[in-house]
C-alpha cells in the first residue's frame, strides 16, 4: 500500500465483487492498479492507476448498498473508460495471463463540437463482468479531415 497522501477524485466507482481476492489480483497484477489502502473486514480496497481510481468491495449479504438482485455479469449497461498513457503494457499483461478481450484494440474518433478527439481503445471484462474500456489519446484533428476521408465518426 502507498504511504503518500491520497488525492481523492471527485467520482470514484465502487465495484461489488463476488470474489474479492480474484478481483484484487486482476486489477493489481494484470492491470497495474496500486492499492492505496484497504480493509480486511469486510474486504475492501481503494485502487489507483495513472490517476484513475476505483474501489472494490466484497459482496456481502448484509450491509451492502445493492438496490436489487445482482446477477452476472455485474454492471450491465455501463462501461468504465480509463485513460492510460500506453495500451501496450496492459495488452501484453492480459495476453500473458490468457485473459480474453471483450473487444480488440481499435482506433476511434469522436466528434466534440467542431473537432474530432481520437483514441486507441480496447474493452475487457473483469472477473465479475464489469466492462472496462482502456484508451490512449490520439489527439485532436479537424472535423473536415474525417469528412474528406469518408471516415466513420462516432
pLDDT tens digits along 97-118? 999 999 999 999 999 988 999 9
pLDDT band for position 153 (cuts 50, 70, 90) = low
- Give the model's pLDDT for residue 67: 80
- Give the model's pLDDT for residue 151: 57
Instruction: State the fold for domain 1-60.
Output: 2,3-Dihydroxybiphenyl 1,2-Dioxygenase; domain 1 (3.10.180)
- Give the model's pLDDT for residue 95: 98
How far apart (Å, rounded) are the C-alpha atoms in residues 48 and 140?
27
How far apart (Å, rounded) are the C-alpha atoms in residues 127 and 3?
28
pTM, to two decimals: 0.87
Each domain of the chain, given as residue ranges in start order, spans 1-60, 78-154
Closest CA to 83 of 55, 118, 56, 115: 118
Residue 139 host element (H or E): strand 131-142
Name the class of domain 78-154. Answer: alpha beta
The strand pairing partners of 141, in sequence order, are: 116
Amino acid at each position: 500500500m502507498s504511504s503518500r497522501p491520497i488525492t481523492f477524485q471527485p467520482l470514484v466507482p465502487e465495484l461489488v465483487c463476488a470474489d474479492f481476492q480474484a478481483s484484487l489480483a486482476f486489477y493489481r497484477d494484470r492491470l497495474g492498479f496500486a492499492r492505496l489502502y484497504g480493509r480486511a473486514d469486510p474486504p475492501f480496497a481503494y485502487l489507483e492507476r495513472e490517476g484513475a481510481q476505483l474501489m472494490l468491495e466484497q459482496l456481502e449479504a448484509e450491509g451492502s448498498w445493492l438496490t436489487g438482485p445482482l446477477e452476472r455479469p455485474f454492471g450491465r449497461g455501463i462501461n468504465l473508460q480509463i485513460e492510460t498513457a500506453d495500451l501496450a503494457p496492459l495488452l501484453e499483461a492480459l495476453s500473458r495471463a490468457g485473459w480474453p478481450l471483450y473487444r480488440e484494440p481499435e482506433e476511434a474518433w469522436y466528434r466534440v463540437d467542431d473537432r474530432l478527439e481520437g483514441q486507441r481503445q480496447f474493452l475487457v471484462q473483469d472477473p465479475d463482468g464489469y466492462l472496462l474500456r482502456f484508451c490512449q489519446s490520439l489527439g485532436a484533428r479537424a472535423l473536415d479531415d474525417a469528412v474528406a476521408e469518408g471516415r466513420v465518426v462516432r
